[in-house]
Amino acid sequence: MAQGWDGKKVFLQDGDALVYPFPKLKEVLQYLNEKLPSVERIGTYATPQDILRRSVDELKELRQLKLGIFYTGLETGDDELLQKIGKGVSSDEMVEAGKKVKEAGITFSVTIILGLGGVEGSQKHALETARVLTEIDPAYAGALTLTFVPGTPLYEQWERNEFHPLSPFQSLEELKLIIENSSFTDCFFSSMHASNYLSVRGKLPQDRERILRELEVVLAARNPSLLRPEFLRGL
């Protein structure tokens, strides 16, 4: 048992546990509940595809066994980009998955990737992502910033100058556009991941103006010292 663990939360890792056969997943959850009765919430990664192939009643069964939060990569709301990155689902299917999770009473946490559309696709990526975030209305949303990984198709496109990445300040402009155009009921939004150039966090819509002001100050200054340096960025 990890030192300092309070015994209240468990995460099923290292991957999408929802892909596991339903009876087997129930067996795992039942075992956890039996052996760790103090656990209040169990979490897992979940792809939209695996959420969609579960019925609401099945998800509710999992919820009764304390599977209380799903972490899902939305990445973008732009259908063209979703196809390019091989996500395997459309933005409509992303929204459908999100609504199914919420109907089952499970907390939904999604991540988006800043810069995924490059310079040319930045505005569409931002606006379509804001649209889908609004439709899903998740409890948590986190922004990551695109990082090039050697050996991947996108890395090779970048090397061939076929993909034009955003500058650090352009990525913050994209983040600002997403926040400005998203509408949430009660969402904790953050860009605290190590891949980001600037960390912001807060509840939306309550902290929207404060977060936007923080971004505006940095964008107005255009001072690189206010950003996380490249050598500290990581996945």
Map the chain to HEC letters: CCCCCCCCEEEEEEEEHHHCCHHHHHHHHHHHHHHCCCCCEEEEECCHHHHHCCCHHHHHHHHHCCEEEEEEEEECCCHHHHHHCCCCCCHHHHHHHHHHHHHCCCEEEEEEEECCCCCCCHHHHHHHHHHHHHHHCCCEEEEEECCCCCCCHHHHHHHCCCCCCCCHHHHHHHHHHHHHHCCCCCEEEECCCCCCCCCCEEEECCCHHHHHHHHHHHHHHCCHHHCCCHHHCCC
pTM: 0.94
Domain 9-222, CATH among 3.40.50.20, 3.30.750.200, 3.40.630.10, 1.10.260.40: 3.30.750.200
| pLDDT value of residue 2 | 57
| pLDDT value of residue 235 | 66
Domain spans of the chain, in order of start = 9-222
Residuewise pLDDT in 10s, the chain (235 residues):
456 778 899 999 878 899 999 999 999 999 999 999 999 999 999 999 999 999 999 999 999 999 999 999 999 999 999 999 999 999 999 999 999 999 999 999 999 999 999 999 999 999 999 999 999 999 999 999 999 999 999 999 999 999 999 999 999 999 999 999 999 999 999 999 999 999 999 999 999 999 999 999 999 999 999 999 988 887 6
| pLDDT value of residue 187 | 98
